[in-house]
Every structure is written in C-alpha cells, then in structure tokens.
C-alpha cells in the first residue's frame, strides 16, 4: 500500500480546534475511559473469581466486558493524548491498525450481544432443554465463533481499505480512523469497495439487531402468563437491555448502512457506540443483577480481610 500511496500520515481534526475546548474534552474522555476500565474490569474479575457465577450468561458477560475494554481502548487513549498535541497525527500503518482492531472488537461485541440474547431466549422459553443446549462445550464454541466472526469481519474491512491507493488530502474530520473517512482519501473509484464495506459492516449490524429484537419479543410473549409482578420485572429487564443494545446498534447502522460519505454528526454518533455503550453495559447487565451484587460483596469482603 505504501508503494501506491502518497499519504504516509493522517491528521485528525478532532472535536474542536480550540485549545481550551480540547482540554475539557480530554478530561471528560479520560474520566469516562477510567470508568469504563474500572466497571468492565470489575465485572471480569468478579465473574472469574466468583464461584457462584458459572452459568453461560456470566461467561458471555465476562467476554463482553473484556471486548468492551479492548474496543474503547482502540480510540479513547489516542483522543485523550491528541488533545494535548498541536498536530493530531497518526501514521498510515497506525491508521490501518486502528481500523482493524476497531472492527475486530466491535464485530465481536455484536456477536456476543446476540449470543446473550439467544442464551436468555433458551433459558426462558425452553428451560427444560437449557442445560443440554447451553452446555460447557457449546458455550465455548459459541464464544470462539463470536471472536472468530469479529476477526473475519475485521479482516474483510481492513483488506478492502488496504488495497486502495491514497493520495490525499491527508486530513480526516474525525478523532479516529474508520473505513468511511479513509475512503475519502482514495484517488481511485471506490464505488465497488463502498458497496462491499456496506454489505460487510451494515448487514451484520442490521441482521444481529433484528435477531435481538425478535428474541426479546418472543421472550416477552412467553411471559404473558406470569404474574403482573413477574411481567413487570421481565419487561423492565428486557427494556433496559434493549436500550443499551439500541445505543450500540442504531448508531452503527447509521454510520455503516449508508453510502460511504462522512457527515459532521459522525463524530458525535461514534461516541455512542465507542464510549457510551461500554460505559452503560456493566450497569445494565451486571450491577442491577442480584447474583453479581452478592459476588461483588463477597469479593470486596475477601479483599478487606487481607
């Protein structure tokens, strides 16, 4: 790629050119990033150390939290450091690497969220078959498939970008490298590449989101015979899960399901699926869960006794 491209580095415009605003944004993102690391890291440690959290749901949740930490770490540290730099620069190889890991961990997160919805569907709608369907070997294969699916998705997106000759301008109106902004730097026809990128990225978001919605609808319908209190509890849980899922999938669909053009709103939209969702997931999926709360208390008590 370097032999065919005139671009060797890329300059980010970020959120603002005002130095004061950049410092405020940097501090805000630093606080959010630390909260994401602490929240999701605590979930991983609690599930790994907690003897009672052995069901498939917690296995998927621990890997989701791990993927969230990695996903946010692809973009947030660079943004925080760039806020203190006069020129926000990334090398071309660094840009391609950022695209690879962004889509690797993002794709993995999509598949893990889908697995978690499927796990809840089997547990609630087919409880007698749950231990057979979601046995240890099957769960291991499903987790492996989620990471493998994220890898295949990422390789596809990266290869499509990697083969393009880039000739500038070398400025991106964004705070990280992604497929659509980088396509604007290409000096060849990108129509076919754009279609393939939309097919690869957008279709995964839409199909997975549709599957998630369908699973939660089936779950709620199967609980109609429950008591009013049980129905309200299930509705509250499903609604909170769907809210977080929507915060991730709707912005992703907005970015990756349209023609490969960049909009001023893309930077704000990206914050929802790169920062807000990783921040809210521990609260929605874990800290509201009684078993996780008890495991956290036991873990804190064990550390306090040391």
The whole-number pLDDT of residue 1 equals 43
Higher pLDDT, 289 or 252: 252
Specify the number of domains making up the chain: 1
The whole-number pLDDT of residue 4 equals 59
Determine contact, residues 66/40, Cβ cutoff 8 Å. Answer: yes
59 domain residue, yes or no: yes
Task: Determine which of 8-17, 32-41, 109-118, 271-280 has the lowest per-residue pLDDT on average.
Answer: 8-17
| Residue reference for tokens 């491209």 | 5
Predicted confidence (pLDDT) per residue in 239-283, tens digit: 777 877 888 888 888 888 877 677 778 889 999 999 998 998 888
Alpha carbons 301 and 295: distance in angstroms, whole number = 10
pLDDT greater than 90 at residue 218: no
272 domain residue, yes or no: yes
The whole-number pLDDT of residue 2 equals 40
Q: How confident is the model at residue 145 (pLDDT cuts 50, 70, 90)?
A: very high
Mean pLDDT within 128-155: 94
pLDDT greater than 90 at residue 296: no
Mean pLDDT within 81-90: 86
1 domain residue, yes or no: no
Predicted confidence (pLDDT) per residue in 159-180, tens digit: 988 888 888 678 888 899 999 8
Percent of the chain surpassing pLDDT 70: 92
State the distance between the two ends of the chain, measured CA to CA, in whole angstroms: 55
User: CATH no. for residue 190?
Assistant: 1.20.1070.10
67 domain residue, yes or no: yes
Q: Identify the CA nearest to 255 among candidates 247, 244, 243, 263.
A: 263
Which residues form the domain of 233? 9-303
The whole-number pLDDT of residue 302 equals 62
Mean pLDDT within 285-301: 76
278 domain residue, yes or no: yes
The whole-number pLDDT of residue 142 equals 95
Determine contact, residues 110/204, Cβ cutoff 8 Å. Answer: yes
16 domain residue, yes or no: yes
Torsions phi, psi for 54 (to 5 deg): -110, 0
Q: Identify the CA nearest to 151 among candidates 110, 108, 193, 116.
A: 108
Average pLDDT over the chain, rounded to whole?
85
Alpha carbons 262 and 12: distance in angstroms, whole number = 14
The whole-number pLDDT of residue 102 equals 95
Q: How confident is the model at residue 5 (pLDDT cuts 50, 70, 90)?
A: low
49 domain residue, yes or no: yes
Q: Identify the CA nearest to 98 among candidates 168, 186, 178.
A: 178
Alpha carbons 224 and 104: distance in angstroms, whole number = 38
2 domain residue, yes or no: no
| Residue reference for tokens 């291991």 | 140
Mean pLDDT within 55-75: 93
Q: How confident is the model at residue 123 (pLDDT cuts 50, 70, 90)?
A: confident
SS (H, E, C) the chain: CCCCCCCCEEEECCCCCCHHHHHHHHHHHHHHHHHHHHHHHHHHHHHHHCCCCCCHHHHHHHHHHHHHHHHHHHHHHHHHHHCCCCCCEEEHHHHHHHHHHHHHHHHHHHHHHHHHHHHHHHHHHCHHHHHHHCCHHHHHHHHHHHHHHHHHHHHHHHHHHHCCCECCCCEECCCCCCHHHHHCCECCCCHHHHHHHHHHHHHHHHHHHHHHHHHHHHHHHHCCCCCHHHHHHHHHHHHHHHHHHHHHHHHHHHHHCCCCCCCCCHHHHHHHHHHHHHHHHHHHHHHCCHHHHHHHHHHHHHHHHC
């Amino acid at each position: 790629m370097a032999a065919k491209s005139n671009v060797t580095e890329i300059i980010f415009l970020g959120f603002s050119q005002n130095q004061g605003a950049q410092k405020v944004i940097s501090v805000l993102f630093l606080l959010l990033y630390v909260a994401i690391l602490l929240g999701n890291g605590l979930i991983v440690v609690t599930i790994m150390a907690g003897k009672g959290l052995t069901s498939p749901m917690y296995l998927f949740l621990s890997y989701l939290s791990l993927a969230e930490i990695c996903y946010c770490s692809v973009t947030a540290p660079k943004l925080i450091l760039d806020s203190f730099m006069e020129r926000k620069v990334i090398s071309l190889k660094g840009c391609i690497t950022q695209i690879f890991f962004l889509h690797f961990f993002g794709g993995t997160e999509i598949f893990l969220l889908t697995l978690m919805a499927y796990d809840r569907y089997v547990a609630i709608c087919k409880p007698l078959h749950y231990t057979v369907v979601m046995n240890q070997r099957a769960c291991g294969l499903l987790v492996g498939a989620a990471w493998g699916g994220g890898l295949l998705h990422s390789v596809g997106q990266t290869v499509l970008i990697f083969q393009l000759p880039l000739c500038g301008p070398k400025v991106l109106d964004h705070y990280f490298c992604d497929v659509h902004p980088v396509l604007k730097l290409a000096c060849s026809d990108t129509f076919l590449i754009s279609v393939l990128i939309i097919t690869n990225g957008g279709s995964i978001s839409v199909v997975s989101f549709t599957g998630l919605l369908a699973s939660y609808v089936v779950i709620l319908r199967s609980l109609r015979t429950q008591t009013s209190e049980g129905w309200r509890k299930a509705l509250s849980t499903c609604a909170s899960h769907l809210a977080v899922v929507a915060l991730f999938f709707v912005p992703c669909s907005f970015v990756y399901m349209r023609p490969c053009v960049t909009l001023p709103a893309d930077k704000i939209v990206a914050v929802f699926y790169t920062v807000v969702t990783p921040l809210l997931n521990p609260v929605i999926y874990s800290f509201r869960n009684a078993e996780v709360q008890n495991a956290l208390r036991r873990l804190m008590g064990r550390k306090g006794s040391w």
